[in-house]
Every structure is written in C-alpha cells, then in structure tokens.
A and B are shown apart, each in its own frame.
Chain A
Amino acid sequence: MAEVNTRPANPESRRPLSPHLGIYRPMLTMMMSITHRITGVALYLGTLLLAWWLLSAATGAKAFATADWFMASPVGRLILFGFTWSLFHHLLGGLRHFIWDLGRGMEHPEREYLAQATAVGGVVLTVLVWVAAYMVR
C-alpha cells in the first residue's frame, strides 16, 4: 500500500479526514451520546461511595455514623443527587440503545423524540426520587 503523507507541503493536498466532534454543530442526539458516556464514568466512580457505605454498615455503628454524616452533608447530598441523575439518565440511555438494537427509532424525527425523552426523563425521575426521599425521611 502507498504511504500516505499526512503533512504535505501544500495544505490543500491534505487528504480529507473522517468528520469528528469538532466538525458538527452540537445536536441533542450527540449530547445524549456524550452524556451517556460521562454518566457512565460518574457511576463507575460512584461505586466507591456505594462500597464505602456498604462496608461502613458491615463494620459497625461508628463507621456507619461517619458515612451517614458525609452522605447527609450538603456536599454528600450534591454528590448523591448527581449519582441519582447519572443513574436514571444512563438507564434511559440504555433503554434507547435497546430500541435501536431492535432496529427502531433511528430515523428523524423518532431519534429526536428519544433524545428529548432521555434528557427530560432523567431529570424528572431524579426529582421524583428526591421528593420521595424527603417525604419518607
């Protein structure tokens, strides 16, 4: 195969690159794809919090009180709120992937509706759970 010179002297003779993030105007479907990854990473790190809380409950009353204090603190609540949103946003994104796996929802305007449903649904479910949490407390 011929060698491809990626840095030729004449810029106009550069070979075209596959379009990537920087090329496109931001779109909702693109944002949902990006947030699906970001929320995935957030949940990945969030498992540390779950492990800490479970281990504290397994260890004893004093360790549990420390973990409980942190979770109930303003910073802890903010992290848990973010964790809840990440969980629901990622869950709905996953359901969207299942719909795509069935070969549906990829055309316009269905894909836009699905993106909107993911964005709105994630926030709505998060707020509902937190309202419920404050009510049962």
Chain B
Amino acid sequence: MTNSSNSMRTPMGKVRYLGSAKSGTHHAWMMRVTSAALVPLTIAFVWILLGLVGKDYNTVRETLGSPFPAILMLLFVIAGIYHMKLGMQTIIEDYVHGDHAKTWSLFANSFFSYAVGLACIYAILRISFV
C-alpha cells in the first residue's frame, strides 16, 4: 500500500463505498458456462472424428471444411481452450507457491492456451476457405 505511513486512513476506509469489483465469481461462473457448452460439443467432436477414421486427405478436408462440422469444431476449440486455461490456472494457483514461479506459470498458461487455440482456429478456417 503506497503512502500508508503518511495517511491516517485505513486501507478499508479507502475502498469502502466504492463498491466491489463484481468479478469475484467470474472464474467459477465461466468454468460452469464452458463446462455446459462442452458436454454437447465434446459428443459432437468425437462423432465428427469417428467419421474421419481411416479417411483420405481429400475426404477429411471436405468434411472439416463443410459448415456444420467446421462450426462445431470451432465452438469445441473455443470453449475447450477457455475451459482448459481456467482449469490450469486453478492448478497453478494450488501448487505453485513462489511469487515469480506463479507469475511466470500463469503467463505461460495464457501464452500456451491462446497459441494452441489460435492455431486450431486458423487451421479450421483455412481448411474451410482455402
């Protein structure tokens, strides 16, 4: 707390009546939202991949590039990546205790999640449009 030694006001007094950040349950709530979305999307994902087992390159591209499977795959990737980023964040917060180690782990979690997520989205869009 800056200037705490120069002020008579307590930290509590400074923030009182300013309201909460109203984001305290955001992590837990988004975990539920993505979980709910992932129940049907996971079934769709497995169903699509089952249909592609042993298929040749052109058939795989044709299937993945058609609207319905492509949209379902995109939704699965978006919900899944968001979900796994939240989950890994919880694991890091539970087990990584050093300040630096925790900060860098959370950085790495974000970088990994966004990079892999974007790679998947790019690939699906490229298969669909190129």
Contact = CB atoms under 8 A, between A and B. Distances in A.
Interface in A94-113: 94-95, 97-98, 101
A91 B39 contact: yes
Q: Which range holds the interface residue count of chain B?
A: 20 to 34
Contacts of A40: 84, 87-88, 91
A41 to B, nearest CB: 7
* Majority secondary structure, B binding face: helix
A61 interface: yes
Q: Which of A55, A65, A84, A101 has the most CB of B within 10 A?
A: A55
Contacts of A41: 88, 91
Interface residues of A, number: 30
Contacts of A37: 91
Contacts of B120: 47, 50-51, 54
Interface string B46-74: 10001101100100110010000000010
B35 A44 contact: no
Given A41-B88, A47-B80, A64 B57 contact: yes
A84 B49 CA distance: 11
Contacts of B91: 37, 40-41
Interface in A7-63: 37, 40-41, 43-44, 47-48, 50-51, 54-55, 57-58, 61
Given A40-B87, A41-B88, A57 B123 contact: yes
B101 interface: no
B42 interface: yes
Given A57-B64, A61-B57, 4 more contacts: A43-B84, A64-B57, A87-B46, A91-B39
30 contacts: A37-B91, A40-B87, A40-B88, A40-B91, A41-B88, A44-B87, A47-B116, A48-B116, A50-B120, A51-B119, A54-B119, A54-B120, A54-B123, A55-B122, A55-B123, A57-B57, A57-B61, A58-B124, A58-B126, A61-B57, A65-B57, A68-B57, A87-B42, A94-B35, A97-B35, A129-B50, A132-B50, A133-B53, A136-B51, A136-B53
Interface of A: 37, 40-41, 43-44, 47-48, 50-51, 54-55, 57-58, 61, 64-65, 68, 84, 87, 91, 94-95, 97-98, 101, 129, 132-133, 136-137
